[in-house]
Amino acid sequence: MNNPFNRPIYFDNNATTACAPEVFEALKPFFCNRYGNPSSIHNFGGFVMPEIEKARWQVAELLGCDNSDPNGRCTEIIFNSCGTESDSTAIRSALKINPSRRKLVVSKIEHPAVLNFAHELAKHGFQVVEVPVDAKGRLDMDFLTDAVDHETALVSVMWANNETGNIYPVEEIAEISHRFGALFHTDAVQAVGKIPMNMKDSKIDMLSLSGHKLHAPKGVGALFVRRGVRFRPFLIGGHQERGRRGGTENVTGIIGLGKAAELAKSYIEIENSEVKALRDYLETEMQKRIPKIRINGDPENRLPNTSLISYEFIEGESILMLLDQYGICASSGSACTTGSLEPSHVLRAMGVPYTAAHGAVRFSLSRYNTRQEIDFLLEVIPEIIAKLRSYSPYWNDK
Ligand code: PLP
């Protein structure tokens, strides 16, 4: 059977998303026509600055920020290059403003943007505590509560996990952190645009987001820093971003991120109804058609678009290669760990048996996916799994 769509069928939206056509239209003029530097004195450049400020408001609106200072300026959003930069900046800042506190508390299932940086800090003498999760990927809150103390500079726990889609109790964790005077940062790269947010009434101090996960271009991100939270920049240079992130602004990226944020706000209902219904349909039908599969994560508390399915006794990578022959794009867990033979650190932390962890495939949907695409996947995948299992020495259901 051939791919009837004559284009890729894209179920890998947690890795990256298509730039929305409306976003592309909004940023296009800023490449070849309105290309001035927003910091320039002349009008040609200066006229770009209000567009950056508009984007800042659009992002603040998506996050539900209390987004203006007493002078009516939106000050809680700092634009930068990506989610990784946001995470690094937040962690560095918290450690710098509180140098006597040498402890960092993170979860075991953080993205490498947090986890690998924490490991690096541990090599430099910081105490890093990693909070474990249970078999469904839920955080051990008692462990976390015991771990935070007056030595803790920062607690960093992601809002939603990129592999399982699990959503974490970030408000509760922020409150625990504050009891001991620690700051709380959340990597919300996967959560922003998928679940509603109300930062105005939140206790979160800092939040990371990334443009390319919400239909903006790659190479742009933002860090939310609550007004009143002390902050030290990572990139020190010019006075851009009110001195909080040096470097000429990625104007097209920022304008694209602003437009994408505006769109994401208007589509959040759709994410949680139509996209979720498609994901649920995918899972229900998959379970009916293929034996011995397991859906990883917390069924009660997951992003509406994510499904991490283990096909026991076979390799996720082999499944991906055969799906790719039909133009179907998915992922074997985090795109960042692909290429390594180790199963993902998230599934290992959850204690998923190796036979299931190796066979994990992540399908992550977006508002651009259709029921017809899911039906095509459901038509081709049972045969792929049966074929691979017939070669597997571990599969004894022949
Ligand atoms: N945090 C999470 C949860 C992610 O899923 C990703 C990307 O996959 C990142 C951080 C890194 O974002 P970026 O690719 O923008 O650096």
Please check the confidence at residue 8 and state whether its pLDDT lies above 90: yes
Q: Which of 243, 263, 283 is the last residue of a domain?
A: 263
Q: Which helix (H) or strand (E) holds 317?
A: helix 316-324
Ligand 1 mean position, distance from CA 163 (Å): 11
Q: Does residue 222 sit in the same domain as residue 127?
A: yes
Catalytic residue among 65, 74, 82, 336: 336
Sign of CA dihedral 323, 324, 325, 327: positive
**Ligand 1 pocket member 162 (CB < 6 A):** yes
**Among 275-279, 311-315, 391-395, whose mean pLDDT is lowest?**
391-395
Domain of residue 97 covers: 21-263
Q: Does residue 195 sit in the same domain as residue 126?
A: yes
Active site residue 65: no
Q: Does residue 26 sit in the same domain as residue 111?
A: yes
CATH number of the domain where residue 67 is located:
3.40.640.10
Q: What is the DSSP string of 256-316?
A: HHHHHHHHHHHHHHHIIIIIHHHHHHHHHHHHHHSSSEEEES-TTSB-TTEEEEEETTS-H
Q: Which of 219, 241, 263 is the last residue of a domain?
A: 263
Q: Does residue 121 sit in the same domain as residue 188?
A: yes
pLDDT tens digits, 91-140? 999 999 999 999 999 999 999 999 999 999 999 999 999 999 999 999 99
Ligand 1 mean position, distance from CA 143 (Å): 26
Q: What is the DSSP string of 88-110?
A: HHHHHHHHHH-TT--EEEEETT-
Q: Does residue 292 sit in the same domain as residue 189?
A: no
- pLDDT value at residue 70: 75
Give the number of domains in the chain. Answer: 2
Q: Does residue 204 sit in the same domain as residue 318?
A: no
Contacts of 386 (CB under 8 A, 6+ apart): none
> How far is it, in rounded angstroms, from Cα 210 to Cα 204?
17
Please check the confidence at residue 53 and state whether its pLDDT lies above 90: yes
pLDDT tens digits, 154-199? 999 999 999 999 999 999 999 999 999 999 999 999 999 999 999 9
> How far is it, in rounded angstroms, from Cα 228 to Cα 200?
13
Q: Does residue 306 sit in the same domain as residue 367?
A: yes
Residue with CA closest to ligand 1 atom 5: 162
Q: Does residue 165 sit in the same domain as residue 238?
A: yes
Q: Does residue 285 sit in the same domain as residue 227?
A: no
Ligand 1 mean position, distance from CA 84 (Å): 6
**Ligand 1 pocket member 204 (CB < 6 A):** no
**Helices 371-391 & 276-289 angle (0-180, nearest 10):** 30
Q: Does residue 191 sit in the same domain as residue 217?
A: yes
**Ligand 1 pocket member 214 (CB < 6 A):** no
Angle made by CA atoms 316, 318, 319, in degrees to the nearest 5: 65
The token pair that represents 83 in the structure block: 């989610």
Considering the entire predicted model, what is its pTM?
A: 0.97
Please check the confidence at residue 307 and state whether its pLDDT lies above 50: yes
Instruction: Bin 273: left if φ > 0, else alpha if -120 < ψ < 50, else beta.
Output: alpha
- pLDDT value at residue 376: 98
**Ligand 1 pocket member 158 (CB < 6 A):** yes
Contact in structure between 109 and 161 (CB atoms under 8 Å): yes
CATH number of the domain where residue 306 is located:
3.90.1150.10
Ligand 1 mean position, distance from CA 16 (Å): 9
**Ligand 1 pocket member 113 (CB < 6 A):** yes
